[in-house]
Amino acid sequence: MDKVIVYDTTLRDGAQGEGINFSVPAKIRVARCLDEFGIDYLEGGFAASNPKDMEFFEAMRSVPLKHARLAAFGSTRRAGVAAAQDAGLAAILKSGAPVATIFGKSWLLHVEKVLKTTPEENLAMIADSVRYLKKHGKEVVYDAEHFFDGYLDDPDYAMRTLAAAAEAGADALVPCDTNGGRLTSEVAEIMAAVAARFPGVPIGIHTHNDSELAVANSLAAVQAGARMVQGTINGYGERTGNANLCSIIPGLALKLGCALTCKPHLDQLRRVSVLLDEIADQRPLKSRPYVGESAFAHKAGMHVDAVGKVSRSFEHVAPEAVGNERRILMSELSGASNVRLKTGEMGLVFQKDSPEVKDVLRKLEHLEKNGYAFESADASFKLLVQKVLKKHVPFFELQGFSVVVQKADAASKATTTATIKVSVNGQAELTAGEGDGPVDALNNALRKVLRRFYPAIDSVVLEDYHVRILDPETATQATTRVLIDSSDGHDRWGTVGVSGNIIEASWEALVDSVEYKLFLDEQRRQAGEK
């Protein structure tokens, strides 16, 4: 298939998503990242909307882009105002961006009820604006707002709005499903009509996800003749979001065989997704297709068995093609294949019907009946295997702990002190630590006592802490499951603890976290000696 242009609007349309607010330095970081990835166009912001977007455009004058072309966004001139006197168009020129992307109305409902102008004036607004920007040397992308809704109401007028932009010199025409309500069949049919009406003019597509069809509609539009796709990384955007480029790009490259500038860098897609979540301060969604942590996670035993034999039996693309990896989840649904593949990651090789595998499965089933969950606690599972196989040598042993929470009065902040006693190599150690809460205090006390023996634990960071009450109907007597995510800058791992007491459950997960770090270091040391 022909080359398809990828147009990213994360910094403009994506920034309109709830909870997303990019600073100027953050916007520059995003721009550099997407440019390196091979995105063709970067829409930097609404030039006339706020000072921050203009500050970004000014800053980008000293930031060379390797490939991407920077676009400033705005609307057509206002009704009754000459293009040369329109503040919005002036802001686009002031931005210095080589590309001007402007939107105009395609739906008579908006023309007459929202803009409160005439159909003919709206056509003049489109043509005048495009012509004015072209006169000033800009590449012009025309976004036809609400095009599909407008076409279904009055196809002739909707087409006339595109013709006004094309005849004025627009470099690309982009019908938009602004409300995100159109079905894929409608988008495909209408886009085919647009492509036939404007042969030789680059046609794009811009969709929103209000019906959860933004990706499907974008791909269908390309099949119907579109050669530019607009969207955002991770689907950020107003309401339910924009078309997710992290799904569209592999769909174009791997499913439709399109030529893309970013195709050589497709194995960096997950890295881009994760980095954008980090910059936008968004929690990564595990279930995202292609790039999510769960995108290639297998849990059911028969699935794991099959994918171990032929990967494409349960994987529609190779995980590594998009920079992701296969994960084998352990749970009560696991079979011998799960255990064998998972222990294989540990360098342990067992036959399918080996007694060791059966022992692990029995222990796993017993623990999960009592509330344990190992899907997000790989480290606890690996330590469990070591214990079942009687290969685990504890790095320290708990002899006891206490936690005291004190609050002097209603106005004061509560303080927590944890006292622990552990044995390291037969040597008893007693110490105390303070923290913002019981887990923090226990963590600080444990590090304090172990640091002398294992200095490497200073690199461990507790990144997240999850608590779930497993039987809320029993209130305070319910079983508590605690999950802790940890990292040392090189590896990341999850651990689990379960108890009727939240502090005891937290301690169990915390101990597994530290034990696993020391276990990893010991494995690395042994591998280096070999």
Segment 364-389 mean pLDDT: 77
pLDDT (average), residues 443-449: 89
Is the pTM here over 0.75, yes or no? no
- CB contact set of 526 (below 8 Å; sequence gap of 6+): none
Check whether 77 has a pLDDT greater than 90. yes
Q: Same domain for 271 and 327?
A: no
pLDDT one-digit tens code per residue, 258-312: 999 999 999 999 999 988 988 888 888 888 999 998 788 777 767 666 776 777 8
Higher pLDDT, 466 or 132: 132
115 and 10 in a common domain: yes
Segments in 281-354 forming alpha helices (H): 301-309, 336-344
Tokens describing residue 221 = 């539009």
% pLDDT > 90, the chain: 52
Residue 440 DSSP code? H
Which CATH number fits the domain that encloses residue 231? Answer: 3.20.20.70
Predicted confidence band of residue 465 (pLDDT cuts 50, 70, 90): confident
Of 173-182, 333-342, 463-472, the range with the highest mean pLDDT is: 173-182
Give the whole-angstrom CA distance, residue 35 versus residue 28.
10
d(CA 211, CA 239): 11
Are 468 and 497 in contact by the 8 Å Cβ rule? The answer is: no
Judge whether residue 475 has pLDDT over 50.
Answer: no
Residue 139 lies in a domain: yes
Alpha helix ranges (H) inside 136-266: 147-153, 155-167, 184-197, 214-223, 245-250
- The radius of gyration computed from the CA coordinates of the chain, to the nearest angstrom, equals 29
Mean pLDDT of the chain: 88
* Residue of 189 and 444 predicted with greater confidence: 189
What is the DSSP track for 126-147?
HHHHHHHHHHTT-EEEEEEETH
Q: Which of 318, 344, 369 is the last residue before a domain boundary?
A: 369
Q: What is the pLDDT of residue 375?
A: 65
Residue 398 lies in a domain: no
Q: Is the pLDDT of residue 523 over 70?
A: yes
Position 481 scores a pLDDT of 86
Q: Which residue has the higher pLDDT, 22 or 315?
A: 22
**Whether 361 and 242 share a structural domain:** no
Tell me how many domains the chain contains: 2
Lowest mean pLDDT across 121-125, 153-157, 327-331, 345-349: 345-349
At residue 174, the pLDDT reads: 98
> Which pLDDT value is given to residue 355?
76
What are phi and psi for residue 476, nearest 5 degrees?
Answer: -70, -15
427: exposed, middle or buried (Cβ count in 10 Å: 0-12, 13-18, 19+): exposed
Q: How far, in Å, CA of 69 to CA of 453, rounded?
A: 55
Spatial neighbors of 105 by CB under 8 A, at least 6 apart, are 111, 114, 115, 122, 145, 146, 150, 161
Do 269 and 362 sit in the same domain of this protein? no
Q: What is the DSSP string of 52-108?
A: HHHHHHHHHTTS--SSPEEEEEEEPPPTTS-GGG-HHHHHHHHH--SEEEEEEE--H
Which tens digit of pLDDT belongs to each residue from 101-155? 999 999 999 999 999 999 999 999 999 999 999 999 999 999 999 999 999 999 9
The DSSP secondary structure of 23-58, one letter per residue, reads -HHHHHHHHHHHHHHT-SEEEEEETTT-HHHHHHHH
Same domain, yes or no, for 343 and 244? no
Could you report the per-residue pLDDT of 481-514, keeping only the tens digit for each?
Answer: 888 888 888 888 889 899 888 889 888 999 899 9
Running DSSP on this structure, what letter comes out for residue 268?
Answer: G
How confident is the model at residue 339, as a pLDDT? 64
Task: Find tokens 């608590």 and name the residue.
Answer: 467
Q: Does residue 521 contact residue 500 with C-beta atoms inside 8 Å?
A: no
Cβ–Cβ < 8 Å for 233, 245: yes
Checking if the pLDDT of 529 tops 70, the result is: no
DSSP 435: E
Query: Which tokens belong to 108?
Result: 């008579």
Q: Is 477 within the bounds of a domain?
A: no
How much is the pLDDT for 476?
46
Q: Are residues 236 and 136 in the same domain?
A: yes
Q: What is the pLDDT, as a whole number, of residue 474? A: 46
Range of the domain at 32: 5-280
Say whether pLDDT at 472 is over 80: no
- Quote the CA–CA distance of 257 and 467 in Å, as a whole number: 45
Tell me what the mean pLDDT of segment 231-250 comes to.
97
Q: Higher model confidence: residue 489 or residue 77? A: 77
Give a yes or no: residue 286 inside a domain.
no
Does residue 362 form part of some domain? Answer: yes
Q: Which helix (H) or strand (E) holds 524?
A: helix 502-529
